[in-house]
Structure 1
Amino acid sequence: MTANSINGRHVYYAILAGANEVIQNKSELDRINVFPVPDGDTGANLTSTMKAVMENLRLENEVDLVLSSAADGALMGARGNSGLIFAQLIYGWYMEVKSKETLTQDELIHSLQGALKRLYGVMLNPVEGTILTVVREWIHSLEKHKDKAATILEYAERTLSDSGVALKKTTEMLEQLRKSNVVDAGAKGFYHFLEGIKRYIEHGEAGIERISVIPTEAHPRSAEAHETLGEFRYCCETLLTRREKGKDKGMNVEEIREIAARYGDSLVIAGGEDKLRVHLHTNSPEPMFDALSHVGQLDAIKVDDMKIQVDIRNHRKYPFAIVTDTIADLPQSFIDEHQISVIPLQLEIGGVVHLDRVTVSVGHFYELNKTLKDQPQSSLPAIKNVENLLMFLSDYYEAILVLSVSDKLSGTYGMIKGLEPVVEKRGRKIEVLNTLKNSGAQGLMVKKAVDMAKEGRSFEEVVEIMRAMRDRVKILVSVDTVKYLERSGRVSRSVGKVAKVIGLKPLMTLDREGHGKAYGGKLTFNAVMKKLVKSVSADIEKYGLEEYVIVHAACLDRAMELARIFEELTGKPPEFIAEISPVVGATAGEGATAIAYLQEKAGW
């Protein structure tokens, strides 16, 4: 490699070396993560971004082809504030060197200056004392030392030294950093990237890994200065794709800025007219994503709950993590109190993909569902999002318990189960348990796992008890209309037509293996409630009752009445009353009411 000629091979190995160095310092970056939110995931986000770049990176002789592959990977896989800034820097650099096979030193500097200008151009409120500061000072240093260094290694060392000075200054530039006496984590990540490049220049291609192994290190409890969440709860990202290329002027960045100003802060945009990666912190993911859906096609949606992340990082309540999916019906207050990580399934409504309970709320969904002609289509959680969650939890817990919806109802269990080796390779324990349940029954099992964690039971003991508990948990659901069962194909049109004419109100349940099945039906709500009460009462008399929960689909009055009936019968109030998720409600429909109960003895 010479100081005046840079080709695609040089850029390829420089990016690989830099990315490897960032990944090797993941734990340190997580530990010092304070700004903009102390959620302890800057290292994880940059690692995810680096992995996406490395996996997509192609070895070519031409600089523009290598950067094109790196930019595509970054846009698809970038996570977090710093990850998006990094992605935009790479994308902007690619846009500046289009059609260039090699770069002279002056062309390198000029193209990076152009990339920096593009980067600042898409920021809503650029904040100094962050990765931006170190990127800017590094590029300035490239110009400053271009005629002073005798060799390219000396050139790299001088610019790295200047970048290190800029990094140290970040501590005094932001109050959060000063209080914690740390440098900015994103800025430190970029500095490590530059260290990797310098190491490549010094030692060549030997030893540079194609995909780096992520080191494992349990985090110490963070300093008190890390413990404040900030104004916004959710870290949101999506890939926006232009709907009709050639028929418009491309996606409007100013419109995205307006949406960001309306709903949150920490806006970072990476990409161009046809494809944009958007990052934003907000308390209102549903209306925010709805507004973005009018700008372009939403894809690769990610919403992280920073409140749960901060709580887990600083105030872990239990020795093992408890994870479930959004099909488990639980009150949000219970989820927050007990630091439960919830994986959202996806739900496509009218051509727009939503995250269950997150970008489509329960209340809004049931109003929307009344007008839909086509059945909303549910799909598995995004595997990359699940993997990133498990990686985050494995940084803070020695063991992870995942309580999944029945494998007979969704492929979610199988998908998460397939990620067990990812956690185990990091020296952590993980049990992905097929609950054989859904809805309130699954939520009840999550509640019991929390109870045992509070009692101080060991991870292994809880897993064993939860496996056996599946034979003691049942659910009975009163469905108000067959309209949605018919629309979903769960009942045939001919049967549905007759049922609607006579006003049949079905009862549904799950069998021992977790299959959904009909449990009869009646012509009036009162009649079906009597049948439900009679059936559950028979089980209670035969097997005993430990506890129960009530869930409903936008019919709190019915749920309260059912709770009153069973409290009179058993002398026990329900453990909680919760709303049925949109994914389940798409088939059950508004008006569905259910009781899930834990028997004292197993029996069917």
Structure 2
Amino acid sequence: MIDHKELLFAFQQGAIQLINGKQTLNQINVFPVSDGDTGSNLASLMQTILEETKEESSSVIEVFEKVADASLLGARGNSGIIFAQYFNGIYNNLLCLEETNSVHSFVKSVKLAITEAYQAIEHPVEGTIITVIRSWAEALNENEDLTSLEKVLPEALLQAKQALENTTNQLKILKKNQVVDAGAKGFYLFIEGFTEAFVNKQSIKKRAEDSSGSVKIDLSESLHTINSEPVYRYCTEILLDHVTQSKNEIQEKLNDYGDSLVVAVNRGKARIHIHSNQPSQVLSYLSTVGQPIQQKADDMLLQYQVSKQRKAPIALVTDSIADLPTDYILNNQIHVLPMNILIGNTNYIDKITIQTNQFFQMKGNQKERPTSSQPTLKTVENLFSFLETKYESILVITVSSKLSGTFHTVKEATKRTTSSARIAVIDSKQNSAAQGLLVMNANEWIQSGIPFEELIEKTKRKRDQVEILVSVDDLDPMIASGRIPKFAGKIAKKINLKPIVSLNKDGEGNLSDFAFSREGIEKKIFQRLKKLHKKNRIKRYAVIHANSESKARFWGDKLAEQVGFQPSYIMDISTVVAMSAGQGSVAVAFEIEEGVEPL
């Protein structure tokens, strides 16, 4: 039998081992995109597991349940999603067995759960994390001595190490860079710590730090009983570590930011609940008194309006990379899945707990490059569970699948739902305001009352009539984030060319034109839109910027002269887009009339 306390300790040690290897994983991250964030994403997942498993468990199955739930809550990036699917697969398979706390059941479940790991990816590729997961699970099942985990885990770890080392030879990009797959190594580091906790339990426990207790807040049900339109829009919860102020000091400072304030402090940790219109300012203050670990912000105002009177039977969902004015989103009841931004050790919620101007202020004080990740499976599932009670159908329009794993995460969430609502997920093959314009079209069709199937087809066709052109000052952020080809970007930098960055028909970043100055790039963009307008092709357009409002206003005025009408909106871009576009970037997204091919 497995001791549930030892199992929980092993999970925690595996998480710590991976967190300690974060920097190495970031450095070797070259597949599928060389964006250096695999370590950060997996460390964030492991931190959530540590936080969610601090309370005592009473059984093996409860330990697995906590880890499975925590992994869905904290999963970031492709490898994180696979981790989450795998842990949930182990838990689900254990539930189907008569005995849930034996070594035999554990070994059987980790093998059966391989299927879930593969299903987390639309196109599984060998030589990645799934290969090492499979090798480890199969090695465990080959061991005939199942008297204790201390006996079966070391040999399986050796097999996993061999599989990890072999990933270098399985993928060309890994062989070219002479590295192992970052996600695969992340899994290996986890099972290495997990194994050592069983094999060397006494020495490991002596080295383990005394974990501080978790902190909870008791929320009255009346706080979330919304019978009238809420004064404050976001129900915000934030967990802090290393808190330097008292409960009373925190309460006194936050009283001006909203209502329904509840603060709990325990052994250096604090959990704060507040209803606020300014969650980014709330977090900005709390970051000065402690280290944010977790945060969430639910849009109570949108939920209230939908519950009181929905505008249509079809729910429209997009992600926060779609740049649309906040008022437009609320007034049209568009539901937004927030992207995540990791700065240092803190995960922020795009456009809610962090704004673009704050991002650039904070970025300068960080040694590590900020990274981003798609919404978690749990976030998507929670949204679906709300929408299915309010709508007959759900249309989700995501950022290009070539730029983010959001599309695949949402698709995976649709497989897991038991909802009777029809759900369609469309890859916009766009980002930023181009994605926003596509969402605007879908919203207008929904409001007109067209059937769901027709809506899906019209939205897919419209993708080809939307385009974005971006002027960037510095190519380094786009190269580092993998948004444009590294080779092309380095050549452009070497000869000091200023590029126009756009997306191709597949939704991949590319360099579509060049000039030797920013003014030259602007001139080319203005001329292109003027030429399109002469043929009555432009239906509408929007100007977006990365903390460069004056330049965006200039673009808006200039383009209005060229095409004869004002932009639909001018706004700051998503923090996630700003991270790869760089400060000072300006872009125009435009929509041409249906049936007309772009130039």
TM-score by length of 1: 0.59
Q: Tell me, yes or no, if the aligned pair for 2:215 and 2:265 is still in contact at 8 Å.
A: no
Alpha-carbon displacement from aligned partner over 1:490-539 (angstroms, at most 9, x marks no partner): 67999878866875432100000000011232222221111112334455
Structure-to-structure mapping, 1:303-382, within 5 angstroms: 303-369=297-363, 374-382=368-376
Identify the range of structure 1 (328-337 vs 298-307) with the bigger mean alpha-carbon deviation: 298-307
Residue by residue, what CA displacement relative to the aligned partner does 1:92-145 show, whole Å, maximum 9, x if unpaired?
Answer: xxxxxxxxxxxxxxxxxxxxxxxxxxx99966xx9xxx55xxxxxxxxxxxxxx
Mapped to 1, the partners of 2:509 and 2:490 lie a distance apart of 21
Give the Cα–Cα distance (whole angstroms) in 1 for the partners of residues 67 and 473 of structure 2: 51
Distance 1:67 1:534, change over 3 A: closer
- Asked if structure 1 preserves the Cα contact closer than 8 Å seen for 2:484 and 2:510, the reply is no
The 5 A counterparts of 1:57-456 are: 60=59, 226-230=227-231, 232-241=232-241, 252-268=246-262, 272-273=266-267, 277-369=271-363, 374-423=368-417, 425-456=418-449
Partner of 1:570: 563
Per-residue CA deviation, residues 317-370 of structure 1 (Å, 9 max, x unaligned), is: 122111111111111121121111111111112332211111111232234445
Contact 1:75 / 1:276 at 8 angstroms: preserved in 2? no
Give CA deviations for 1:143-196 in whole Å, capped at 9, x if unaligned.
Answer: xxxxxxxxxxxxxxxxxxxxxxxxxxxxxxxxxxxxxxxxx6989xxxxxxxxx
Aligned residues: 409
Which 10-residue stretch deviates more, 551-560 or 316-325? Answer: 551-560
| Partner Cα distance (2:247, 2:72) in 1 | 18
Correspondence for 1:108? none
**Any gaps of 5 or more consecutive residues in structure 1?**
1-7, 9-51, 79-118, 132-183, 188-224, 244-249
The code of the aligned residue for 1:515 comes to E
Gaps of 5+ in 2: 5-50, 75-213
Equivalent-residue separation in structure 2 for 1:488 and 1:552 (angstroms): 18
Identity of aligned residues (%): 34
- Residue 588 (structure 1) aligned with residue 590 (structure 2): no
**RMSD (Å), alpha carbons:** 4.1
| Conserved? CA contact 2:403–2:483, under 8 Å | no
Alpha-carbon offset, residue 390 of structure 1? 1.6
Instruction: Note if contact 1:57-1:70 (Cα within 8 Å) is conserved in structure 2.
Output: no
Whether the 8 Å CA contact 1:255–1:295 is kept in 2: the answer is: no
Of the three residues 523, 533, 543, the one matched with 2:526 is: 533
Secondary structure at the residue paired with 1:395?
coil
CA distance in 1, matches of 2:229, 2:384: 23
Q: 1:204: which partner in 2?
A: none
Task: In structure 1, give the amino acid aligned to 2:554.
Answer: E
Residues 233 and 75 of structure 1: CA distance in aligned 2, closer, same or farther (over 3 Å): farther
Question: How far 1:437 sits from its partner (Å)?
Answer: 0.3
Partner of 2:500: 507
CA deviation after TM superposition for structure 1 residue 254, in Å: 4.2
Alpha carbons 2:217, 2:271 under 8 Å: kept: no
Question: Retained in 1: the 8 A contact 2:239–2:293?
Answer: yes
Report the alpha carbon displacement of residue 410 of structure 1 after superposing the two structures with TM. Answer: 0.4
Tell me the alpha carbon deviations over residues 179-231 of structure 1, each in whole angstroms, 9 at most, x when there is no partner: xxxxx6989xxxxxxxxxxxxxxxxxxxxxxxxxxxxxxxxxxxxx923213x
Equivalent-residue separation in structure 1 for 2:324 and 2:217 (angstroms): 39
- The DSSP-based 3-state class of the residue aligned with 2:388 is helix
C-alpha distance 470-72 of structure 1, shift in aligned 2 (>3 A): closer
Contact 2:263 2:271 in 1 (8 A): yes
The C-alpha deviation readout for 1:560-583, integer Å capped at 9, x for no partner, is 332333333333322222221111
Counterpart amino acid of 1:263? Y
SS in 2 for 1:527: helix
Q: Which amino acid aligns with 2:356?
A: V
Give the Cα–Cα distance (whole angstroms) in 1 for the partners of residues 354 and 460 of structure 2.
32
Displacement of 1:474: 1.1
Counterpart CA distance in 2 for 1:229 and 1:73 is 30
Rounded Cα–Cα distance in structure 2 between residues aligned with 1:256 and 1:414 = 40
* Cα separation, partners in 2 of 1:186 and 1:273, compared to 1, 3 Å: same
CA gap 1:120/1:521 in 2 versus in 1, 3 angstroms: closer
Structure 2 counterpart of 1:266, one-letter code: S
Partner of 1:87: none
CA shift for structure 1 position 465:
0.3
CA contact (8 A) 1:227 1:314 kept: no
Counterpart contact for 2:542–2:588, Cα < 8 Å: yes
Moved more, 397-406 or 385-394: 385-394
Once residues 73 and 487 of structure 2 are traced to their aligned partners in structure 1, the CA distance between those partners, rounded to angstroms, is 47
Aligned equivalent of 1:474: 467
Find the aligned partners of 1:497 and 1:68 in 2 and give their Cα distance: 47
Deviation per CA, 1:458-508: give whole Å up to 9, x if none. Answer: 222211100111111111111123353355466799987886687543210
| Secondary structure, counterpart of 2:394 in structure 1 | strand
